[in-house]
Amino acid sequence: MFIKQLQLRNFKRFTDLTIQNIPADTKLVLLTGSNGSGKSSVFDAFEVLAGLNGKGHKVAFAEYTKHKENDSFDILIDTYEYGKEGLSNNNLETSGKLATNSFYGRTSFRQVPRLTKKVIGQTRFDIASDNDRPHSFIDRDERFENDLEHIFARLLREFFNTNEERSEIKEKIINPINEALFRIFNKENGTRLVLTAIIPPFEGKVADITFKKGDSTFHYNYLSAGEKEVFIILINLIARREYYQDTVYFMDEIDLHLNTALQYNLIKEIVENWIPPKCQFWTASHSLGFIEYANKSSEAAIIDLGNLDFDKQQLLVPLSKENPDVYEIAVSKDMLGSLFQHMQIFFVENTDRTYYATAGIENTVFVSENNRNGVFHKVRTTSYKGIVDRDFLSDDDIGLIKANYPGLYILDYYSIENYLYHPDNLVEYYTSIKQEFSKEGYISDLTKAKNACKDGIIPSLSLKRTEYPYFSEPAFNGKPSQNRFKNKAENMEQAAVVAGYLNSDEFNLYYKVLPMKTYCTSLAQRQNAPRSELAKTNWFKAQVNSLIS
């Protein structure tokens, strides 16, 4: 089951929250935001829906109402399979479109430091109805040992009631877990975590669940917190997912006790290998690893609940994958220096970060700022470096700026699009996809397109240049600043130089200041060359390396 819209009214943290426009192919919905922003409240809404679809617990509705003077709340969802569905605590029945097992969740309080059960069959629970689940998302989730008991019973049934060899049973339980552990922890043989035995409790002893690392064998109780976290989730999914095949899974804070790389590997493993095909997975986190995976995956959506006033009506949609500021959810820009102290950090303009990051420059981090002025301010007031578009700067302008701001790097061309659609870059791209491309023909078409638009650009050059922030400060390093962009005579003089570039038909001259971002966009050679692919070429990487070296 796939949710495309969720609305909560007077529920927990929210007065009126709507999350909409979740794409149909979204396998992962990642809720982000600071502590207390309401991520777990969304999961409580799913718990209420689960409780009213045959899950056994009575719902304490008073706990969920935001404004006590108004004791009603609404939970409304719109799914791609069943359309609109919902409930109010004034009307405790859903329309019946949703299956009994439409929702399945786990709270963040699920860590089991050591096994305690010394006999199976003591606890009465029904896996299929999930009647051992906690009452709410602030209660401890103690289903792990029940999950194990279910697996023990399954192993015994298969062993005695079928003709399967033990090796076949191992294929169904132990091998999938070990394959997942290998993909998540990605360790070499000497430190690789391998599940070797999963034996029920008997003779007054807890279950014998043992692992191997290198030549060492040890019990579950002695796993690290992060290893236990991963194992608990895998055991849970392998025990219960057969009952939840058309379901919204929701798990809170499954990134606990894991470093960034393991966070990425875990969420990738769960979404791509452990959640059934017709199911959607919702989780809440502000971990960098989860955000990185969700930002890269075409089947993931990020919903940011941070910095919003939920006393007012709020409408949220998935964050754009082209917005690199998504990483600020996990890492404040002010903390970058300490986190990446052995790497170069460059602030860049807006969405340009995507293309710089794609180039894969070693030991370099690119961070988005809103615009040129933001990048310049970072360079002027901190020790960080920055990259800005050339725009309509003359060669003389660039020399003067570099002399005063050595940490500010200026593109050789008008904008990053000039690099992406540079003829040399297109040559490499079209060669890689085995399509013909004439560099000479492209430059000829480009020159004609430039001449068709230049007269609309040149008259506004001097005015555009007055928007530049360089040298607009009263002083730089204690020296008076010379703001040539606001000095009318100097500005007009250099604007005339830039106009001369545009009037020239020499490619290496006019291309420096030709706005490829907004002009010449209809050229046939550009139409089928996606920027995301053009940023992966060796030529583009070499140009970025040359610029910042």
- Say what percent of the chain tops pLDDT 70: 85
- Summarised one tens digit per residue, pLDDT across range 316-369 is 999 876 555 566 666 665 655 555 566 788 999 988 888 998 888 888 888 878
pLDDT of residue 478: 47
Q: What are the backbone angles phi and psi of residue 43, rounded to the nearest 5°?
A: -70, -30
Q: pLDDT digits over 143-188, tens only?
A: 888 888 888 887 777 766 666 555 566 677 788 999 999 988 876 5
Each residue of 104-151: pLDDT tens digit? 888 887 778 888 888 877 777 887 778 888 776 677 888 888 888 888
Say whether pTM exceeds 0.85: no
How high is the mean pLDDT of the chain? 84
Long-range contacts of 465-471 (CB under 8 A, 24+ apart): 465/392, 465/393, 465/491, 465/494, 465/495, 466/491, 468/372, 468/391, 468/393, 469/372, 469/373, 469/376, 469/377, 470/376, 470/397, 470/401, 470/404, 470/405, 471/401, 471/404
Position 529 pLDDT exceeds 80: yes
- CATH (one of 3.10.20.340, 3.40.50.300, 3.40.50.800, 3.40.50.2000) for 3-327: 3.40.50.300
In 317-454, at which residue ranges do the beta strands (DSSP E only) sit?
A: 344-349, 364-369, 385-388, 408-410
Give the pLDDT confidence score for residue 187 in this predicted structure: 64
Beta bridge partners of 410: 388
Which uninterrupted H or E stretch holds 217? strand 216-219
Cα separation values, 452 from 448, 510, 519, 526, Å: 6, 13, 10, 17
Provide the pLDDT for residue 370.
79
- Range with the largest mean pLDDT of 143-157, 242-256, 524-538: 524-538
Per-residue pLDDT tens digits for 179-235: 999 988 876 555 688 998 888 888 888 989 999 988 889 999 998 888 888 999 999
DSSP 8-state code for residue 508: H
pLDDT tens per residue across span 68-80: 556 678 889 999 9
Q: Which two tokens stand for residue 503?
A: 């009037």
Domain residue extents for the chain: 3-327, 332-548
Percentage of the chain beyond pLDDT 90 is 41
Tell me which amino acid residue 75 is: I
Buried b (16+ CB within 10 A) or exposed e, 175-213: ebbbebbeebbeeeeeebbbbeebebbeeeebbebbbeb
Which residue, among 396, 101, 365, has the nearest Cα to 241 in the 3D structure?
A: 101
**Looking at residue 350, what DSSP letter applies?**
T
